[in-house]
């Protein structure tokens, strides 16, 4: 039987999903993105060479891997072509390997203008979005006025839809935000000029996945962002505009949930977040500085510094529950190298009472006091260790304690950004 494994972020994104997808990809025939857009930044490092992928699935560096973009993704055609061009410059062939669902909704320039205008208008209360037009594009999808990938290929339909949609959005852009309108003709001209490049990638992704299933192939579902950025279950309103949790793997690709075998949750050995919003275990001190520096915690899309703090088991347990995570992959263990002691948050205290689960209302989060357990750090490096036994004893103990508190097995450990700086304890394809 082929295995269908979901790899997703269990925190606020940037957990190292791309690295792990790339590392496991030699075992699978295909990889599919099912939500998000080019707000994602997934970093792969192979023999010192860094590749940052935004829209294209993290299997693209494996010449035989098929890369699918499912209906749940919001797709900027121009961002896609830019990414393809960079890959081609680096000798990566995407010919006959990238397949995009006709049902993907598009991100077009008015979405970017709206995203940026809104953030500017919010001032201090801004979400800190990536400014890529993600939110407005998902709004258009739900409002049933979006243009879908498959509609690009009929000039008449495209012109009509663009006229209607610009009529609507330009009113908001000019009258409400006092921004420049987006002109129809140059936009249409740009789209028509790139259509020959896009057309060969049209696909029925749901059908392809069904074929892989019937022919016993292994497939990876690659999440973007992380559980706490989920539009329903995250730290609303400081979230992204898609469902980032495991159920979205099925909805966003057109694959039946009954056939998903493994849900691998990726979590850093600590926590980071980029953008605004609550973060109970944030460390604005020398520990935060250590994590930021040693972990090189700067956004791969926007270059913004990521906020850093201790591992939060209350949130990790919530992520395990929301996603039915079958096993964890703990990444960036090496970033903790050299700390004398390391804290993990086990409970929250809120208004004098202790809680094991986070409050749903994000307004209450500012009053949370994390309750920590303090563990011994290690001085010998874990960096580049490729087996559990090589890890310093205290690092092994840290992982075992995290595993016990989390209540699910640690399947994998990552000790560096290189593809092979990885340890498998329990094979995700055997789940």
Catalytic residues: 14, 42
- Binding characters for ligand GDP, 320-359, by CB under 6 A (x = yes): -----------xx-xx------------------------
Name the DSSP class of 418.
B
Least separation in angstroms between CB 69 and ligand IMO: 14
> CB neighbours (10 Å) of residue 94?
14
Is residue 16 at the binding interface for ligand GDP, with CB under 6 A as the rule? yes
**Alpha-carbon torsion, ordered 354, 358, 359, 364, to 10 deg:** 80
Least separation in angstroms between CB 274 and Mg ion: 9
Is residue 14 at the binding interface for Mg ion, with CB under 5 A as the rule? yes
For Mg ion, which is the closer residue by CB, 150 or 299? 299
Spatial separation of the C-alpha atoms in residues 385 and 422, rounded to whole Å: 8
Among residues 42, 99, 111, 132, the one that binds ligand GDP under rule CB under 6 A: 42
Spatial separation of the C-alpha atoms in residues 217 and 62, rounded to whole Å: 16
Cis peptide before 253 (omega within 30 of 0): no
Name the DSSP class of 162.
H
Spatial separation of the C-alpha atoms in residues 45 and 24, rounded to whole Å: 14
Distant-in-sequence, close-in-space partners of 12: CB < 8 Å, separation ≥ 6: 225, 226, 228, 229, 271, 272, 273, 274, 279
Is residue 222 at the binding interface for Mg ion, with CB under 5 A as the rule? no
Q: How far is residue 347 from each of residues 302, 307, 410, measured CA to CA in Å?
A: 33, 21, 20
Least separation in angstroms between CB 340 and ligand IMO: 29
Site for ligand GDP in 76-95 (CB under 6 A): none
Closest CA to 239 of 193, 185, 286, 278: 278
Spatial separation of the C-alpha atoms in residues 86 and 34, rounded to whole Å: 22
Beta-bridge partners for 418: 45
Stretch that binds ligand GDP, among 168-176, 203-211, 361-369, 413-421 (CB under 6 A): 413-421
Among residues 7, 12, 15, 385, the one that binds ligand GDP under rule CB under 6 A: 15
Among ligand IMO, Mg ion, ligand GDP, none, residue 394 binds (CB under 5-8 Å by kind): none
For Mg ion, which is the closer residue by CB, 300 or 323? 300
In the numeric block, which tokens belong to residue 60? 């693209």
Closest CA to 380 of 343, 423, 338: 338
Q: How far is residue 332 from each of residues 42, 73, 235, 394, 426, measured CA to CA in Å?
A: 14, 27, 24, 16, 18
Among ligand GDP, Mg ion, ligand IMO, none, residue 334 binds (CB under 5-8 Å by kind): ligand GDP
Is residue 57 at the binding interface for ligand IMO, with CB under 6 A as the rule? no
Is residue 41 at the binding interface for ligand GDP, with CB under 6 A as the rule? yes
For Mg ion, which is the closer residue by CB, 41 or 428? 41
- Binding characters for ligand IMO, 207-236, by CB under 6 A (x = yes): -----------------xxx--x-------
- The values of phi and psi at residue 206, to 5°, are -60, -40
Among ligand IMO, ligand GDP, Mg ion, none, residue 267 binds (CB under 5-8 Å by kind): none
Total binding residues for ligand GDP by CB under 6 A?
21
Q: What is the binding site for ligand IMO (CB under 6 A)?
A: 9, 12-14, 39-42, 127-130, 132, 134-135, 224-226, 229, 240-241, 274-275
Q: What is the binding site for Mg ion (CB under 5 A)?
A: 14, 41, 300
Q: What is the binding site for ligand GDP (CB under 6 A)?
A: 9, 13-19, 41-43, 45, 300, 331-332, 334-335, 414-417
């Amino acid at each position: 039987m082929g295995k269908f494994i979901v790899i997703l972020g269990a925190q606020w994104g940037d957990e190292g999903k791309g690295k792990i997808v790339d590392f496991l990809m030699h075992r699978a025939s295909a990889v599919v993105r099912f939500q998000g857009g080019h707000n994602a930044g997934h970093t792969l490092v192979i023999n010192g060479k860094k590749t940052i992928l935004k829209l294209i699935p993290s299997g693209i560096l494996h010449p035989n891997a098929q890369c699918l973009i499912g209906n749940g993704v919001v797709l900027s055609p121009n961002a896609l072509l830019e990414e393809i061009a960079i890959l081609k410059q680096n000798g990566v062939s995407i010919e006959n390997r990238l397949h995009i669902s006709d049902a993907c909704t598009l991100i077009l320039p008015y979405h970017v203008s709206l995203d940026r205008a809104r953030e500017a208008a919010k001032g201090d209360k801004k979400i800190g979005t990536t400014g890529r037009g993600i939110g407005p594009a998902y709004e258009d999808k739900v409002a049933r006025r979006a243009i879908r990938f498959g509609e690009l290929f009929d000039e008449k339909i495209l012109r009509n839809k663009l006229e209607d949609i610009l009529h609507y959005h330009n009113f908001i852009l000019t009258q409400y935000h006092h921004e420049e309108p987006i002109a129809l003709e140059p936009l249409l001209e740009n789209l028509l000029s790139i259509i020959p490049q896009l057309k060969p990638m049209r696909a029925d992704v749901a059908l392809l996945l069904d074929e892989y299933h019937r022919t016993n192939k292994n497939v990876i579902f690659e999440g973007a962002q992380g559980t706490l950025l989920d539009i329903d279950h995250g730290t609303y309103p400081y979230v992204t505009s898609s469902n980032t949790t495991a159920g979205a793997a099925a909805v966003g690709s057109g694959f039946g949930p009954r056939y998903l075998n493994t849900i691998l949750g990726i979590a850093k050995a600590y926590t980071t977040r980029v953008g605004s919003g609550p973060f109970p275990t944030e460390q604005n001190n020398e520990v935060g500085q250590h994590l930021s520096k040693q972990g090189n915690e700067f956004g791969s899309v926007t270059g913004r510094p990521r906020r850093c703090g201790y591992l939060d088991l209350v949130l990790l347990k919530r992520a395990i529950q929301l996603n039915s995570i079958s096993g964890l992959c703990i990444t960036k263990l090496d970033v903790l190298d050299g700390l004398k002691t390391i804290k993990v948050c086990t409970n929250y205290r809120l208004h004098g009472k202790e809680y094991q689960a986070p409050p749903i209302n994000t307004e209450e989060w500012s009053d949370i006091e994390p309750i920590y357990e303090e563990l011994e750090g290690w001085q010998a490096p874990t960096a580049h260790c490729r087996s559990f036994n090589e890890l310093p004893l205290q690092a092994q103990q840290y992982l075992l304690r995290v595993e016990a508190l989390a209540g699910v097995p640690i399947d994998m450990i990552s000790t560096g950004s290189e593809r092979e700086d990885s340890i498998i304890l329990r094979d995700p394809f055997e789940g």
